[in-house]
Amino acid sequence: MAIDVVEVRRRLLSLLTDPNLVNDYLRQYGPNLDIKHIKALKEARAKASELAEEGAGHDPIYEIIVSCPVCGIEDITCYELRAKSQQITKNKFLVPLFQGASGFRTVDYALVAVTVCPRCLFASPDKKDWMRTDEKTQIPANVIMTLQEKIGERKAIMRAVSEVRGYFSRPRTADAAIASYQLSMARARVEAWYEQPYALYKLGAYSLRIAKIVKDTGGDNRDALREALGFFEESFRTSNSPSEEIEMQVIYTIVALNLKLGDHKKANSYIGVFTNLHNSRAMEMKEDPKLQTILIDRWSDKSKMLWEDRDREDLFKDE
């Protein structure tokens, strides 16, 4: 199965020429070649690119007002992305990439995805972490209490900024976007200390978003990639992600990061983890036929495709 997917991917790449477009095709239509789907996808991408170059299209971002669960301030602007306004693909590290769709212009939503409290510098890209009139925060009370005690650490991150509210408004600079993810990491570290589910996964994901912004601005992002790898490895080691889907993504991302950072031996060892998980699940299925290996096999195939292409110079061009 993996070999067939790899071959389909190679053929799609020769027809579409863009690895991101290939990934989008596989996500939408699976490993089945259909010239009608290929043509439609190319035309949609061309149209979106044309709109973006012309600066045309509607603004895909709208604002909502939220309250801070840590200090209680009530007038914080949160930037939300309109549904279906962007064609969202993902790079090899599963970081979202945005392309305008349905008459909306292209925006890099990752730059403004994090909402930051201008008073206590609590930060999160998850709207459920914030409070609204009829919605409570999902942040546990013990985490909130510790975040109240650690405001000084967050202020140290922002010590060079005199006017925080304006700093994080639109348009948000690359430096401000990086700071917003650093503040989110300060929150997630507290969650990790309390062994909250997905905290280590969040830390890895925020590090990868920083890495992408650094690369987009011409910087060296290898330190951020190494930091992300450490968080994902710790997430896997401690089983910090209860969802099987997220756990498989964590293992896949560890493979991708090790390949990017040049440790092929370690990458291959984590591909072996998928094999072990598949075999264990197959044994469990003898007792419980309702169990499946679909998620394991899907992310195993993706990892094996990376391994097959590990010597391609452009493998990580969008990362």
- Domain spans in the chain, listed from the N-terminal domain onward: 1-54, 57-198
Return d(Cα 126, Cα 107) in angstroms, integer.
19
Query: 10 Å Cβ neighbour count for 307?
Result: 17
Q: Per-residue pLDDT for the chain (319 aa), expressed as one digit of tens each?
A: 444 677 887 888 778 776 667 776 776 777 888 888 888 777 766 655 554 444 568 999 999 999 999 999 999 999 999 999 999 999 999 999 999 998 999 999 999 999 999 999 999 999 999 999 889 999 999 999 999 999 999 999 999 898 999 999 999 999 999 999 999 999 999 999 999 999 999 999 999 999 999 999 999 999 999 999 999 999 999 999 999 999 999 999 999 999 999 999 999 999 999 999 999 999 999 999 999 999 999 999 999 999 999 999 889 887 7
Joined tokens for residue 93 = 């590290």
Reduced to 3 states, what is the DSSP secondary structure of residue 168? coil
pLDDT of 11 reads 81
Contact 44, 65 (CB under 8 A): no
| Single-letter code of the amino acid located at 311 | D
CA nearest neighbour of 129 among 72, 190, 68, 74: 68
Return d(Cα 257, Cα 118) in angstroms, integer.
34
Return d(Cα 78, Cα 161) in angstroms, integer.
20
Return d(Cα 185, Cα 297) in angstroms, integer.
31
**Token match 């003898």: residue?**
286
Return d(Cα 60, Cα 83) in angstroms, integer.
8
pLDDT of 44 reads 66
Backbone angles phi, psi at 136, to 5 degrees: -95, 165
pLDDT of 168 reads 96
Strand ranges inside the chain, DSSP E: 61-66, 76-81, 86-90, 96-100, 115-116, 123-124
pLDDT of 51 reads 47
Query: 10 Å Cβ neighbour count for 79?
Result: 20
Q: Assign 3-state DSSP to the chain and report helix, strand, coil percentages, each to 5.
A: 55, 10, 35
pLDDT of 26 reads 75
How long, in residues, is the chain? 319
Joined tokens for residue 318 = 């969008």
pLDDT of 48 reads 52
